Amino acid sequence: MTDPPVSVLMTTYNGAHSIAASIASVLAQSFPDYELIVVDDGSTDTTPDILAACRDPRLRIIRPPRNSGVVAARNLGFAATRGGYVAMLDHDDLAHPDRLARQVAYLDRHPRVVLLATEIELEINGRRRAPDHPHGGDPLLLRWLLHVDNPLTWSSVMLRADAVRRLNVFLRADFELADDFDLYHRLLAVGDIARLDQPLTVYRWHAHNTTFGNEARQDAGAVNVLRAAYAHWLGGDAEIAARLVVRHLADREPVCDAATLDRLAVYIERLLDGFCTDCCGTPAERQRIRAVGGDIWWRTVRASVRTGAPGLLGQYRRHAALAGAFRPSPVDLAASLAIGALRSGRRAAK
């Protein structure tokens, strides 16, 4: 038997509530030549029974002798893959029928791209919506966004197996829960990362998610990744900048005071300066990335204003380079001020 061109890797632990639908979405792919590897990491519910009932010859099940955690399970599964391309799908997410076909076609045409994600739909309590992040997925944009957020969903990723093997290790246990973010940054040294604009993955958010209730640990890992990425641009300020970026740009926590907003703006400006110098080859590229940075700055201020602090809008205009790179619509501006004033008034009346 020849090796399939694509391996789909899924890990599970007590995934009986969702894994049947996730597997079905893989088996319904329009791209026919793949293997599905499921690592059952010591499930104690009916997951083993669900897997045993699936007789599709493309399914391979791996059961380690004991529960070893998500990073070890993913590493075990990756070591067993045979495909030149490896696609990820968690046991509670869904793949569009054309996902594999479109990712393979893109990677075949773009040999410099070592990892390709897709746009996603978020499903929360049965309702689906688009994610809150800048649109677009070309390599330059993704390289910038990976320095201020994690714009990629693990379940949407397809990567080149040979590129990962150049790193010597797939996922690092020291970064567990931010292990995907760490991998993306390490792969930036090998090649490009891109994202398809089409929403070909459904990410289902619920209380069974691995990161649910573990946000502090996930954030600590992300801070460590960004601290290393910022070191050559920010020097001794790298860690505090990384903490602010993870808290307010990645986690979307509104900033409550003008001083913190100002500090965050300065770091965004310095990151933009360093990134544009190192990664943008033309004035048009620099202008585009600065516009995205300005958009991120506006989203940050808007969130703060809408929590009930309309006076913080002044901080937006104080940073002329960021404000000049992106102009919010008059409707967005007026709505943000109105919402902020209303919430401020309600607090004052209590």
Q: How many domains would you assign to the chain? A: 2
Q: What are the backbone dihedrals phi and psi of residue 62, each rounded to the nearest 5 degrees, phi first?
A: -120, 130
Q: Are residues 44 and 139 in the same domain?
A: yes
- Residue 166 maps to a domain: yes
Q: Is residue 82 classed exposed, middle or buried when 0-12, 13-18 and 19+ CB atoms within 10 A define those classes?
A: middle
> Is 224 inside any structural domain?
no
* In a shared domain, residues 258 and 167: no
**Angstrom distance (rounded) from CA 217 to CA 342:** 35
Which pLDDT score, from 0 to 100, does residue 103 have? 98
Give yes or no: residues 190 and 272 share one domain.
Answer: no
pLDDT in tens, 296-325: 999 999 999 999 999 999 999 899 999 999
Residue 233 belongs to some domain of the structure: no
76 plus 142 within the same structural domain: yes
Q: How far apart are the first and last CA of the chain?
A: 72
pLDDT of residue 209: 61
CA distance 350 to 340: 16
Note down the domain range covering 317: 254-349
Residues of the chain with pLDDT under 70: 1, 206-213, 350
Q: 176 and 260: one domain?
A: no
Residues 188 and 268 occupy one common structural domain: no
pLDDT at 348: 82
Among 180, 205, 230, identify where a domain stops: 205
Is the CB of residue 99 less than 8 Å from the CB of residue 153? no
The confidence score (pLDDT) of residue 213 equals: 66
At residue 125, the pLDDT reads 85
Query: What is residue 6's predicted lDDT score, i.e. its pLDDT?
Result: 98
Q: Can you say whether the dihedral through the CA atoms of 24, 27, 31, 36 is positive or negative?
A: positive
Whether 176 is in a domain gets the answer: yes
DSSP state of 3: P
